[in-house]
Amino acid sequence: MSVESADQEEISREQKYFDVAWDARERSRQTLGGAAAAAVGGKAAVAVGRAAREHLDQLGDPDEAVAMGRFDSDDGELYYVGKRVIRDDEGELLVISWKAPGASPYFTATYDDPKGVVRKRTFEVERNRILSFDDVVFADLAARVDDLTALENEGIDDAVLRELDAARTGEMRDIVQTIHAMQYELVRAPLEQLLIVQGGPGTGKTVVGLHRVSWLLFNHADQLAPSDVLVVGPNPTFTRYIRQVLPGLGDHQVEHRDLRGLGPQPGTGRQEHPEVTRIKGEPRMQQLLMRGLVQRIRFPERAAQLDVGTVASFFRPEVEDALRRSINQASSYGAGRTAMRSWLTAATTARARRGTQASAAVIEAALERLWPSLTPQVFLRDLFGSRDRLLSAAGEHFTAAEVAHLFRPASDRVSDEGWSTADVALLDEADMLLTGSVTQYGHIVLDEAQDLSGMQLRSVRRRSRSGSYTVLGDLAQSTGPAARDSWDDVVTALRHRHPAAIAPLKLGYRVPQQVYALAAQLLPHSAPNVEAPQVVRIGPAEPDLREVPAGDLGPETVRAAREYAARGLFVGIICADEQRAAVVEVLNQHDVHYQDTRGGTLGASINLVGATDAKGLEFEAVVVVEPTSIAVEGAHGLRLLYVALTRTTKHLTVVHSGDVLPVLGQTQPLDVPSLQGNQKPPPKPEPGLDRFSADFAASLGSRLAEDIATTAQPRLWTAIVTALADELERRRTGRAP
């Protein structure tokens, strides 16, 4: 019998199994669909209906193949592995879920440690029809270990290469069938840790992080619900790009947010100087905001007494005494305000002039003069819009030049105020100070984490209930005002209860060898201590380098993009801001249909992407415009260029009038952390991370100390400062001083 006909017979045998499993799954679908439809009426029926619908969601798409692979164990059993579990009518397992512990040999078997697996079979399918299959027989591999190719050695087989050759669209897909053993170890790493995955471009960090979520939800269902998981990405385009992966794996309610949406008010695209962004990102901004908020609480200047309508009046000392008590007990600005309202209401009732009574509105008006009601937006607009407020909130922790950078004219209406991405983290901090609460999650995935500022990391941290995170990033792609050369400060900023570990991913799946060979020349200059990934495959073509006069950059770029698009490829044009206008002009001249990704979506054909916004994305063909312009965009331009050159799965064209690789100066050496990095003792808890009032009191103390020197009420302020110092001492030692 020929090999082909033997294979055909095997395919027919396997197809019978696939058909049986398909029938079983579809019978379940009908039963569950019936139960969901019939469940009308009381509470019990609603619960039954909900459970039936949840199970239906778990069954996946009717078009989905029942299994992606199988392994034969050395005890003679065969196990089919699929995206979801399938049982027959008697409850016998036909297909095990890839997330079940029983499926682990499928992913972890290697020739030198086959984990009891004799054969691993991967199916190529169209809907539920088997087209072909690939077998790995571990005993055969072990027998010819000296002849193993590098790919076989790394466990890269035809199924992986086929997957990598598959067409790309604007949506990331799952890689369940071909998860690599090293990736699988990260997918199933313990939940209770701060796990940082460091890996070069295209090593699968994002896709591994998402599969990890699905695996954790399946295996820790008692601790973690889908709505208890948050995935944070760098921008809306990226979030859209990845958002179908988890639903495709059966996990529907995981929350996806991007940095522009991680606060009470989304960023509105306000542009600002990188130096302003840098200052706004620094953790000392927390102190500035705190002091800025404390300034808002005070007895009205120059007033001798506080009138509550015509009902009652209070002299300064007793009001300030009440303010001090409210501040001392406050867990947030809002809670302190509530306490102050209670005092004012009771005190007004006690002192009401005969025959009068204060309405709630009158009390509120008096309270507003002492302790104004604020939203994060109003507070920040007022603070940034006043040099005086900024100067006194900045204290000695900011230079005059930095304060000048932070100042901006306030808009008349708060709804007209523009917000930058850096502002979002400040609004979030302000919201925390004002309300003392935020929705927390049991697990957070943070992608492209190498670029986050200190304030953005604080936003992420406060959303973590216990310190269980998957942090994904690449120091060699770290750019922007908060660029870093080490993960140390990220660990310090994020960690709380659980230990931290840094794990590498080393195989580069996305970028073909010929393209990576070009991009990798930047590494010694831009990130000398970061290890380059080992590329897993050779692409269809060498990079196409097109040198043109500067005036032809736009036309040549559009020509190259249209050539690729005409071949049905998914295309990204990546350029610096400096070149954008020229490219857009030519695209419009030629009536080219394209998608500007700043709108938050990827189009099916040609996309125009800024170099920074290209992070995390991939295309089948990329046209990089004028590398020298990208290399001067921001302080880490060479890293940005490295990002741009590593976005393609197949083809790369570089259109340039200057150098292709402008590697002139040397950069600072990088400190790449290792897995042993988790031996460090936990960082000391920063004040203010967990409780508002201790920090609040501390900053109030320093603010008031300044006031003692400058204002006319030294006696009272001294009393307040003393009381606050006592309070801090009590918190520190647990007893009254």
Would you tell me which residues interact with ligand ATP (CB under 6 A)? Answer: 160, 163-164, 175, 178-180, 183, 199, 201-207, 474, 477, 509-510, 616, 618
By DSSP bridging, strand 305-308 and strand 312-315 are antiparallel
- In angstroms, what is the minimal distance from the CB of 680 to ligand ATP? 25
Q: Which residue has the tokens 């939940």?
A: 191
Residue 442 in marked binding region: no
Count of CB atoms situated within 10 Å of the CB of 44 = 9
- In angstroms, what is the minimal distance from the CB of 509 to ligand ATP? 3
- Closer Cβ to ligand ATP, 94 or 515, answer by number: 515
Q: How far apart are CA 293 and CA 699, in angstroms?
A: 10
Residue 248 in marked binding region: no
Q: Which two tokens stand for residue 54?
A: 């949840």
Residue 205 in marked binding region: yes
- Cα four-point dihedral sign 50, 56, 57, 59: positive
- Closer Cβ to ligand ATP, 228 or 485, answer by number: 485
Residue 203 in marked binding region: yes
By DSSP bridging, strand 229-233 and strand 255-258 are parallel
- Closer Cβ to ligand ATP, 175 or 697, answer by number: 175
DSSP of 510-567: SS-HHHHHHHGGGHHHH-TTSPPPEE----SS--EEEE--GGGHHHHHHHHHHHHHHT
Specify the 3-state DSSP secondary structure of 478. coil
Q: How far apart are CA 522 and CA 144, in angstroms?
A: 38
- In angstroms, what is the minimal distance from the CB of 477 to ligand ATP? 6
- Closer Cβ to ligand ATP, 163 or 489, answer by number: 163
Residue 716: name the closest of 294, 369, 319 by CA: 319
Q: What is the CA radius of gyration of the chain?
A: 30
Residue 202 in marked binding region: yes
Residue nearest to ligand ATP (CB): 204
- In angstroms, what is the minimal distance from the CB of 461 to ligand ATP? 22
- Closer Cβ to ligand ATP, 82 or 309, answer by number: 82
Q: Which two tokens stand for residue 601?
A: 């979506």
Q: Please name the residues in contact with 359: beta carbons below 8 A apart, sequence gap of 6 or more.
A: 309
733, exposed or middle or buried, with CB in 10 Å at 0-12, 13-18, 19+?
A: exposed
- Closer Cβ to ligand ATP, 429 or 618, answer by number: 618
Per DSSP, 115 falls in state: T
Structural element, H or E, at residue 315? strand 312-315
Pair 65, 123: CB distance under 8 Å: yes
According to DSSP, the residues that pair with 501 across neighbouring strands are 195
Structural element, H or E, at residue 697? helix 692-710
Q: How far apart are CA 417 and CA 413, in angstroms?
A: 7
Q: Please name the residues in contact with 590: beta carbons below 8 A apart, sequence gap of 6 or more.
A: 558, 562
- Closer Cβ to ligand ATP, 285 or 672, answer by number: 672
Phi-psi region of 382 (alpha: psi -120 to 50; beta: other; left: phi over 0): alpha
In which order are the strands placed within the sheet that holds 594-596? 544-547, 648-656, 619-625, 571-575, 606-610, 594-596
Q: How far apart are CA 456 and CA 421, in angstroms?
A: 10
Residue 237 in marked binding region: no
Q: Please name the residues in contact with 244: beta carbons below 8 A apart, sequence gap of 6 or more.
A: 171, 172, 173
Q: How far apart are CA 512 and CA 537, in angstroms?
A: 6
- In angstroms, what is the minimal distance from the CB of 541 to ligand ATP? 18
Q: How many alpha carbons lie under 13 Å from residue 555 in its C-beta half-sphere?
A: 5
Pair 202, 510: CB distance under 8 Å: yes
- In angstroms, what is the minimal distance from the CB of 206 to ligand ATP? 3
- Closer Cβ to ligand ATP, 312 or 446, answer by number: 446
- Closer Cβ to ligand ATP, 115 or 546, answer by number: 115
- Closer Cβ to ligand ATP, 419 or 570, answer by number: 570
Q: How far apart are CA 272 and CA 612, in angstroms?
A: 15
Residue 649 in marked binding region: no
Pair 150, 535: CB distance under 8 Å: no
- In angstroms, what is the minimal distance from the CB of 388 to ligand ATP? 44
- In angstroms, what is the minimal distance from the CB of 63 to ligand ATP? 20
- In angstroms, what is the minimal distance from the CB of 69 to ligand ATP? 13
DSSP of 625-693: E-HHHHHTSSTTHHHHHHHHHT-EEEEEEEEESS-SS---S--PPP----GGGGGSPPPPPPTTSS-HH
Specify the 3-state DSSP secondary structure of 737. coil
Pair 592, 634: CB distance under 8 Å: no
- Closer Cβ to ligand ATP, 204 or 248, answer by number: 204
- Closer Cβ to ligand ATP, 159 or 457, answer by number: 159
- Name the residue type at position 610: G
- In angstroms, what is the minimal distance from the CB of 241 to ligand ATP? 9
Residue 16 in marked binding region: no
Residue 450: name the closest of 418, 411, 479 by CA: 479
- In angstroms, what is the minimal distance from the CB of 68 to ligand ATP? 12
- Closer Cβ to ligand ATP, 432 or 617, answer by number: 617
Cite the DSSP H helix spans in 188-284: 205-219, 236-242, 245-248, 274-281
- In angstroms, what is the minimal distance from the CB of 485 to ligand ATP? 17
Residue 452: name the closest of 609, 290, 258, 200 by CA: 258
- In angstroms, what is the minimal distance from the CB of 535 to ligand ATP? 11
- In angstroms, what is the minimal distance from the CB of 204 to ligand ATP? 3
- Closer Cβ to ligand ATP, 405 or 510, answer by number: 510
- Strands, E assignment, 2-116: 69-73, 78-82, 86-87, 93-97
- Closer Cβ to ligand ATP, 297 or 475, answer by number: 475
Q: Which residue has the tokens 């200047």?
A: 301
- In angstroms, what is the minimal distance from the CB of 184 to ligand ATP? 9
- Residues in the annotated binding site for ATP: 199-206
Annotated binding site: 199-206
